[in-house]
């Protein structure tokens, strides 16, 4: 390691004095003005991780659904997964080291992780469409090359596409070809094969309106659409030619405001969906004849997918274990429906994709979704091989089901939740089952719910257990929440420190919107009082 060169280049990416940032749930995120040094240093760290794992490592420059002025970066581990937790800590240390300590911290990480510095390294880089992203990917490359390592810059990519590339490269191409072309072909081939079997020929399933959040999803869908146009025609809205990234549009906006994005023309009962800014989340929605807006979030997506997979397994007579993984934010009705009607075991993990992903890997088939629309289905290697075998051997209806399952496995991005892949899976399932968007929505009724945030002096005063459903500290807060919950029917509430913003998040659900709103408000007051709230005390209008 040429440490003098590291220091010399570091002066070109100087760290603002005293700035402390943390590698959070989805990497670093902040206003772009503060991030250049982080990019350079993550280039350095990716090289060390690559040497240690003897694999290709990914670096994605994006701040997902955050405003355009922000940016962020995260590292992708060899199998396309999120960075291992011990390396998240190294990332935080390296990011916060003052210039004079940089060499020492870098050597410290190499030693503690027994990195063989003679080992070759390879880093792949992707970026979203933010104005600051191109320059930042150059800073990452500076970090990679100063350590004498090789890289490939994919340029503009969705986050899940970079996860896919990393996975392909580290499995000798067995998962697919590590190019955008390879990605488009793999997914489209599976989608077209699936939808060819659709017996009802209604045009209803042939078109879909997609809000691309003025982000990278628009560019990539435009490139991809002719590959699958036999099965589906997509109309793109908020494609980045006019509006600002994530501004009044995108999956996060639609989910949190429970209303359609700006710019979308919705006719009654038309199926629409929204991606987020880096296309790793998706939610669906429609308006009924009365103009009422209906949101179909990650919970209902998980329900549709797991019921379809369960039916296919029944058809081929295989008793494989399916598990659905959710977080505390999953609507209570979805959990009840999955457990009681579909008889599928449901598990709850902490918020953040890495937690759900790891839990889902414990099953033959693990379906995971956050209510906000991030998710996918994972198939164990043994299951994948078995299904491939059955698709060859079985005949008649069983053979047809096995072939469908084989294509479904190919259609899901096994490395990360992926809006494009999920969209094609959902479209295929709706068409194959002959379900309209209203029929899908009617599987169960969501319980009214409300999410709020409370500003506190230090969000770390709140710690939680039981997958964030119970508060441990400060003392007395859980008792207050439990007493408040008892006042309402079908109610539930929890609070957790955000991993991406300096706030405490509050979630409440109950039998009516009014009750969910009052419960959320009362719980916010308890947080404000016991966890050191700052600024204005939460008022009932807070809920609007």
Q: Which is nearer to ligand 16G, 28 or 154 (CB)?
A: 28
Residue nearest to Mg ion (CB): 64
CA distance 280 to 298: 12
Binding site for ligand 16G (CB under 6 A): 25-26, 64, 351-353, 370, 372, 374, 498-501, 505
Binding mask 29-68 for Mg ion (x = CB under 5 A): -----------------------------------x----
Instruction: Give, in order, the Cα–Cα distances in Å from 421 to each of 3, 11, 171, 535.
Output: 42, 41, 20, 43
Is 206 labeled as ligand-binding? no
Q: Which is nearer to ligand 16G, 10 or 351 (CB)?
A: 351
Is 505 labeled as ligand-binding? yes
Binding mask 230-269 for Mg ion (x = CB under 5 A): ----------------------------------------
Instruction: Report, in Å, the least distance between residue 407 CB and ligand 16G.
Output: 26
Among 77, 142, 239, 276, contact with Mg ion (rule: CB under 5 A)? 276
Q: Which is nearer to ligand 16G, 78 or 417 (CB)?
A: 417
Instruction: Report, in Å, the least distance between residue 206 CB and ligand 16G.
Output: 32
Q: Which is nearer to ligand 16G, 159 or 188 (CB)?
A: 159
Q: Which does 195 bind (CB under 5 to 8 A by kind): Mg ion, ligand 16G, none?
A: none
412: left (phi over 0), alpha (psi -120 to 50) or beta: beta
447, 433, 441, 384: which is closest to 410 by C-alpha? 384
Instruction: Give, in order, the Cα–Cα distances in Å from 146 to each of 140, 470, 496, 520.
Output: 10, 47, 40, 51
Is 120 labeled as ligand-binding? no
Q: Which is nearer to ligand 16G, 88 or 370 (CB)?
A: 370
Per the structure block, which two tokens stand in for 60? 């994605």
Interface positions, 63-82, toward Mg ion (CB under 5 A): 64
Is 278 labeled as ligand-binding? yes
Q: Which does 532 bind (CB under 5 to 8 A by kind): ligand 16G, Mg ion, none?
A: none
Instruction: Report, in Å, the least distance between residue 4 CB and Mg ion.
Output: 38
Among 36, 70, 280, 522, contact with Mg ion (rule: CB under 5 A)? 280
The answer, yes or no, to whether the previous bond of 474 is cis (omega within 30 of 0) is: yes
Instruction: Report, in Å, the least distance between residue 352 CB and ligand 16G.
Output: 4
Strand bridging mode 504-509 / 449-454: antiparallel
Strand bridging mode 207-211 / 272-275: parallel
With both helix axes pointing from N to C terminus, report the angle between 298-316 and 396-411 in degrees, rounded to the nearest 10.
150
Q: What is the CA radius of gyration of the chain?
A: 23
Mapped onto helix, strand or coil, the DSSP state of residue 100 is helix
Is 241 labeled as ligand-binding? no
Is 371 labeled as ligand-binding? yes
Based on the residue annotation, tell me whether 64 is a catalytic residue of this protein. yes
Is 372 labeled as ligand-binding? yes
404, 25, 336: which is closest to 196 by C-alpha? 404
Query: Residues 410-424, buried b or exposed e (16+ Cβ, 10 A)?
Result: bbbbbbbbbbbbbbb
Instruction: Report, in Å, the least distance between residue 416 CB and ligand 16G.
Output: 8
Q: Which does 51 bind (CB under 5 to 8 A by kind): Mg ion, ligand 16G, none?
A: none
Instruction: Report, in Å, the least distance between residue 469 CB and ligand 16G.
Output: 15
Are 21 and 28 contacting, i.e. CB atoms less than 8 angstroms apart?
yes
Is 334 labeled as ligand-binding? no
Q: Which is nearer to ligand 16G, 123 or 452 (CB)?
A: 452
Q: Which does 499 bind (CB under 5 to 8 A by kind): Mg ion, ligand 16G, none?
A: ligand 16G
Instruction: Print the SS3 string covering 145-191.
Output: HHCCCEEEEEEECCHHHHHHHHHHHHCCCCCCCCCHHHHHHHHHHHH
Kindly determine how many residues on this chain lie close enough to bind Mg ion according to the rule CB under 5 A. 4
Among 68, 81, 278, 406, contact with Mg ion (rule: CB under 5 A)? 278
Per the structure block, which two tokens stand in for 252? 């996060």
Is 276 labeled as ligand-binding? yes
Q: Which does 276 bind (CB under 5 to 8 A by kind): ligand 16G, Mg ion, none?
A: Mg ion
Confirm or reject binding of residue 418 to Mg ion (CB under 5 A): no
Q: Which is nearer to ligand 16G, 370 or 410 (CB)?
A: 370
Angle at 52 between CA 161 and CA 170, to 5 degrees: 35
Q: Which does 278 bind (CB under 5 to 8 A by kind): ligand 16G, Mg ion, none?
A: Mg ion
Q: Which is nearer to ligand 16G, 15 or 492 (CB)?
A: 492
Instruction: Report, in Å, the least distance between residue 351 CB and ligand 16G.
Output: 5
How big is the chain, counted in residues?
544
In which order are the strands placed within the sheet that holds 504-509?
A: 449-454, 504-509, 492-497
Query: Burial level of 131, CB count in 10 A (0-12/13-18/19+)?
Result: exposed
Instruction: Report, in Å, the least distance between residue 247 CB and Mg ion.
Output: 15
Per the structure block, which two tokens stand in for 53? 């794992």
CA dihedral 85, 86, 89, 91 (to 10 degrees): -90
Instruction: Give, in order, the Cα–Cα distances in Å from 451 to each of 188, 277, 332, 386, 455.
Output: 37, 21, 14, 43, 14
Q: Which does 352 bind (CB under 5 to 8 A by kind): ligand 16G, Mg ion, none?
A: ligand 16G
Sorted by sequence, the CB contacts under 8 Å of residue 296 that are 6+ apart come out as 283, 284, 285, 286, 437, 440, 441
Per the structure block, which two tokens stand in for 248? 């009044």
Q: Name the catalytic one among 10, 50, 64, 132.
A: 64
Is 134 labeled as ligand-binding? no
CA quadruple 213, 219, 224, 226: dihedral positive or negative?
Answer: positive
Is 500 labeled as ligand-binding? yes
Q: Which is nearer to Mg ion, 211 or 276 (CB)?
A: 276
Residues of each annotated binding site for substrate:
370-372, 496-500, 505
Show which residues are catalytic: 64
Contact residues toward Mg ion (CB under 5 A) are: 64, 276, 278, 280
Residues placed in the known binding site for Mg(2+): 64, 276, 278, 280
Annotated binding site: 64, 276, 278, 280, 370-372, 496-500, 505
């Amino acid at each position: 390691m040429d440490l003098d060169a590291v220091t010399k280049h570091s002066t070109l990416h100087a760290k603002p004095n005293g700035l402390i940032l943390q590698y959070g749930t989805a990497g670093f995120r902040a206003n772009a003005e503060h991030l250049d040094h982080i990019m350079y240093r993550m280039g350095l760290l990716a090289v060390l991780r690559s040497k240690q794992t003897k694999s290709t490592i990914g670096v994605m420059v994006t701040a997902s659904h955050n405003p355009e002025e922000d940016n962020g970066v995260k590292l992708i581990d060899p199998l396309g997964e999120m960075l291992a937790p011990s390396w998240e800590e190294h990332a935080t240390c390296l990011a916060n080291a003052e210039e004079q300590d940089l060499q020492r911290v870098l050597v410290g990480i190499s030693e503690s992780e027994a990195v063989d510095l003679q080992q070759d390294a390879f880093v792949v880089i992707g970026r979203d469409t933010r104005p600051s992203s191109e320059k930042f990917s150059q800073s990452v490359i500076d970090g990679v090359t100063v350590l004498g390592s090789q890289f490939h810059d994919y340029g503009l990519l969705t986050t899940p596409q970079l996860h896919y590339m990393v996975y392909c490269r580290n499995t000798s191409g067995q998962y697919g070809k590590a190019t955008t072309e390879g990605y488009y072909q793999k997914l489209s081939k599976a989608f077209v094969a699936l939808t060819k079997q659709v017996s009802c020929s209604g045009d209803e399933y042939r078109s879909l309106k997609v809000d691309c959040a003025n982000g990278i999803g628009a560019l990539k869908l435009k490139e991809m659409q002719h590959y699958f146009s036999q099965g589906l025609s997509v109309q793109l809205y908020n494609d980045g030619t006019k509006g600002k990234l994530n501004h009044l549009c995108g999956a996060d906006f639609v989910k949190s405001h429970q209303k359609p994005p700006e710019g979308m023309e919705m006719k009654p009962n038309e199926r629409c969906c929204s991606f987020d800014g880096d296309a790793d989340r998706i939610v669906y929605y429609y308006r009924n004849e009365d103009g009422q807006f209906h949101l179909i979030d990650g919970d209902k997506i998980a329900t549709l997918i797991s019921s379809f997979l369960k039916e296919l397994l029944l058809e081929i007579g295989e008793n494989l274990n399916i598990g659905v993984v959710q977080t505390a934010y999953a609507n209570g009705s979805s959990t009840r429906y999955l457990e009681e009607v579909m008889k599928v075991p449901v598990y709850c993990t902490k918020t953040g994709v890495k937690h759900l992903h790891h839990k889902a890997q414990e099953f033959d088939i693990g379906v995971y979704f956050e209510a906000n629309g991030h998710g996918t289905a994972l198939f164990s290697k043994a299951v994948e091989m078995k299904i491939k075998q059955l698709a060859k051997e079985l005949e008649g209806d069983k053979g047809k089901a096995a072939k469908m399952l084989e294509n479904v496995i190919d259609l899901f991005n096994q490395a990360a939740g992926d809006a494009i892949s999920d969209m094609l899976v959902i479209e295929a399932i709706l068409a194959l089952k002959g379900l309209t968007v209203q029929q899908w929505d009617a599987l169960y009724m969501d319980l009214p719910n409300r999410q709020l945030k409370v500003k506190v002096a230090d969000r770390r005063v709140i710690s939680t257990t039981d997958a964030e459903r119970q508060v441990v500290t400060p003392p007395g807060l859980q008792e207050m929440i439990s007493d408040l919950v008892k006042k309402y029917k079908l109610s539930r509430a929890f609070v957790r420190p955000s991993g991406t913003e300096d706030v405490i998040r509050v979630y409440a659900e109950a039998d009516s919107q009014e009750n969910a709103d009052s419960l959320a408000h009362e719980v916010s007051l308890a947080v404000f009082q016991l966890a050191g709230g700052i600024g204005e005390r939460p008022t009932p209008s807070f809920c609007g």
